[in-house]
Structure 1
């Protein structure tokens, strides 16, 4: 596949799929070949908008198309395992939107199948591949400002409760934790690793989906991560790493293309990464490279990392007594 144009398929054609498709258009030697929805009309409209060759009215029809090299799964959380396994059984590489699945058991089954079939599988947590986030991780790893003492990370916005929508539907994994709480948890895991213990506090909507979740991850040497997700209010959406000799602050929208402010010795410097896209192209390019090299696992978003991430989400759910 060294020089071959990679033909992408998309399963699930909601908001995030539109963003992914828009950025896919900016990636060299890759094209949107096919899309699938349960509605032929929706598939046709999406295909026309992003110049896809084929539009299918079922996921089963899409995976039977032998021209497809990779599939991006952008369906609701509760369908990730089922949709991933469908693609893997047809030997199609899968980039599955976060959260990888509903729980650690499902994630384990997906990874086991990918290994058994020897097919590339990766969780699409786009933040990991963004240049500003990779820059911050390197600064932390190099201890430019010494060891991390505390992390504060939040993600919150307000939406009026509507149980008919995916965001609030508990059966689909709706609520703040899986949808947006995963980002602050990701920030803690990628910078500090697994905590020695977790403290949590949550509020709930009338249908039992979590409306907000406050988490404190405790590490050795009194290092803490204070994390928050909420659908009740707009929050700064920052990730702030307080270190021994300075502070690294990922500014508004820390999980998406943004700027980084470095604070040390009373001086501030803000770095602009000059983003030109929504940001999904970075994970696409990484995935394409893996596919071309015949790899079956990412060296950045590893299976082990995805397992740790879903385990932390499971642990928080147990703590706040949230069951799907």
Structure 2
């Protein structure tokens, strides 16, 4: 496999494992993370897995949209092709925090940053077609609501799990709208719930029985996946499959539960909501609403 793949959020968890697996399959793996030391460690693992394929680590904080723009410029300068963009970076905050622009941090990192990066790299993806965009979502998107989008953006009446669910619903809505906008270009867009991962930081935001159950089930799943819980390796396989498998080469606009296509929340079928989210997202990151048709870096 001679592919160039940009994978965000790859210095821990499923991102780290996916980076290694992609390298083993011969891909040139470009990946991001906030921790430089962890990034150097993953880069060594990637290069050891496939010395001939290379790889590169970019330290990026996805709460900083200028850093996201710089990442896009660098990738487009250093690589003349991009076969897959895997939007995996994400966060879950136990307390409300905002960016300098007043955007709630969970929404900014989990939705707006990948929205911005994908649109900035869309010209390179189109030029490299067939190409793919894969975004890590969550089954929790079914609990999300973007009916009051501005309240979500500001983080009003903040609740950690609600904020996460809202951001994951935004991921699925974005994927469906992106697929429509990229139709006929040779670039597909899909999203995936990788399963509940042992050790996930979401556990700390659960309470009472839910916390005890989730912690216990995660411990079991770390030995052998059970029910909705998944191993880190199995979750990484889901990302790698969507980014590389011939079986999904022509699939676009779909939501996957691990490696199986599934039905997302009914809200995803709301065309008005998808359009409203797209336009508001473009405003918040300073892009024209017409992207990815144009080239916002020119």
Q: Which has the higher helix share?
A: 2
Alignment TM-score, normalising by the size of structure 2: 0.48
Q: Flag the structure with higher strand content.
A: 1
Structure showing greater Rg: 1
TM-score scaled by structure 1?
0.45
